[in-house]
Amino acid sequence: QVQLQESGPGLVKPSQTLSLTCTVSGGSISSGSYHWSWIRQPAGKGLEWIGRIHTSGSTNYKPSLKSRLTILLDTSKNQFSLELSSVTAADTAVYYCASSRYGSGNAFDIWGQGTMVTVSS
């Protein structure tokens, strides 16, 4: 049973870079054909898909975030990561990592528990 766990700083200063890691356990991040995504949710608001990386290493980003976003795959550590630069208060949210099997219609069947990130000085 694959499980996902987010980790990273809970507080980031404005204009700095937000960095999070998602650790995959119970399976190999490089086996099969999966998309590994980041999704966020501001307090009391809805879900927002941020971007994803395929097992092959190819990435897709939400157009409005593309200029600030980098998602990387580290197969040696069984992890994938998120880097969001030039953050503002609008980036404050619970950040989830999630996976979807390629060909499943982009359905996120496994989620991490989420990690709260606050952007504040």
Binding site for other proteins (CB under 8 A): 37, 39, 45-49, 52, 60, 62-63, 96, 104-109, 111-114
Residue with tokens 């501001």: 42
Indicate the burial class of 16 (C-beta count within 10 angstroms; 0-12, 13-18, 19 or more): middle
- Least distance from other proteins to the Cβ atom of residue 99, Å: 11
- Least distance from other proteins to the Cβ atom of residue 108, Å: 6
Q: Which is nearer to other proteins, 14 or 32 (CB)?
A: 32
The DSSP annotation for 37-90 comes to EEEEE-TTS--EEEEEEETTS-EEE-GGGGGGEEEEEETTTTEEEEEE-S--GG
- Least distance from other proteins to the Cβ atom of residue 89, Å: 20
**Whole-number Å distance between alpha carbons of 33 and 20:** 22
Q: How far is CA 75 from the centre of its chain?
A: 15
Q: Which is nearer to other proteins, 41 or 75 (CB)?
A: 41
Q: Which is nearer to other proteins, 10 or 63 (CB)?
A: 63
Q: Which tokens is 25 given?
A: 């356990």
Q: Which is nearer to other proteins, 60 or 70 (CB)?
A: 60
- Least distance from other proteins to the Cβ atom of residue 88, Å: 20
